Amino acid sequence: MTDLLLTYIVPVYNTAPYVVKCLQSLVNQGFEPDQYEIIAVDDGSTDDSRARIEAFAQEHPQVRLLCQANAGVSAARNLALDHARGRYVQFIDSDDYLADGAMAQLVRRAVDENLDVLMFNFDWVDVDGQALKVSKPRDDMQSTPVMTGVEFLDAFTLMQYVCWYIVRLDCLNKREIRFNTSLIACEDGEMSPRFMLYASRVAYCDASPYCYVNRGDSAMNNTNREHLRRRIFSQIDAAQSIDRTINQFEAATGRDVPASVAGLRNLYLYFSMTKALTCGCVDDAVSRIRSAGLYPFPCIGPETNYMGAKWKVIHRLMMHPGLWSVLSRVYSMMNK
């Protein structure tokens, strides 16, 4: 392997304590220096993240730093995609890292088998690097042979986070696939079906190269009420976008979308309602879902079994938004 095989895309916003460890882990993957590049995008950080990346890049010419005014992770990733030169791209959050030497073998398989997408596991770790759990598409899942994206999604759950994949850059560029910059949550899940449904050659490798750091102070754990409200509406918007992807796929192919894609759409709707219950904005959430054309809640066909029986129960409850409004008021009174 001698050409530029992989572009690591690393959006950065105020992660100065973590970013050098992240970048160093990418250097430690066993590639020759001319086989990969690292594009770090500083998204208007107000700490010294940028200075730390610049210092690291002086010693590692594979690192390119791009800078933008704060516009969010999706805009940062899109900027990097527009500058990427690798055959494949991998998305890395700047507070996470890769296990040393893990990616070279996975990329070799992707190249040897001419894959569009290669999927793998990730390890949850704490801030000290101690393992918490391994996330797999299914507990008993083993490495798979090559199949189409539709075959893969028919057989297995759609994993929403882009850190589960390496993706051929051409597959994104040919269909003009980029992240939806209007979303502040669920942008990964909104994008994943758009490249998985049309991928010709997909495989899964039972390996865990990615270390996802479980930080208590991350944006995912922000409990500010207004922030939660915005995330709830973003989940609904992501569900609406996935629904458009479903309709476009079914119109183009004449077949039903794989159940796991419909399941992800529904999961975002269900999560938005359960969060709205605790946030006190059930009526606003239902109104937004109605405006999106997703009420009555879509749950028709095999995706009704997505994630088991409890989602059937939640679906039945969600068909009665008045009940959710009552539950929200009770919850608010109990937590005063």
Task: Please give the distance of CA 134 from its chain centroid, rounded to a whole number.
Answer: 17
pLDDT of residue 310: 65
pLDDT at 222 over 60: no
For residue 291, give every residue at least 6 positions away whose Cβ sits within 8 Å of its Cβ, in sequence order, or none.
none
The proportion of the chain whose per-residue pLDDT surpasses 70, expressed as a percent, equals 91
The predicted-structure confidence for 131-187, as pLDDT tens digits, reads as follows 788 888 777 889 999 999 999 999 998 888 999 999 999 999 999 999 999 999 999
Domain locations in the chain?
Answer: 6-220, 222-334
In eight-state DSSP terms, residue 211 is E
3-class secondary-structure state, position 76: helix
Per-residue exposure over 268-301, b if at least 16 CB sit within 10 Å of its own CB, e if not? bbbbbbbbbbbbbbbeebbebbeebebbebbbee
Over 70: is that where the pLDDT of 20 sits? yes
Query: Does the global pTM surpass 0.75?
Result: yes
Query: What pLDDT score was predicted for residue 311?
Result: 63
The share of the chain scoring above pLDDT 90, in percent, equals 68
Structure confidence at residue 81 (pLDDT): 98
Asked if the bond preceding 193 is cis, omega within 30° of 0, the reply is no
6-220, which class in CATH?
Answer: alpha beta
Tell me: the pLDDT tens digits for 233-286? 999 999 999 999 999 999 999 999 998 899 899 889 888 988 888 888 888 998
What per-residue confidence (pLDDT) applies to 1? 42
- Kindly indicate the confidence band of residue 2, based on its pLDDT and cuts at 50, 70 and 90: very low
* β-sheet with 122-125: strand ranges across: 97-98, 210-213, 122-125, 131-135
Dihedral sign (CA 115, 24, 214, 71) = negative
Assign 43 a pLDDT band (cuts: 50, 70, 90): very high
pLDDT interval class at 83 (50, 70, 90):
very high
Residue 334 confidence (pLDDT): 74
Residue 210 has phi, psi (to 5 degrees) of: -95, 130
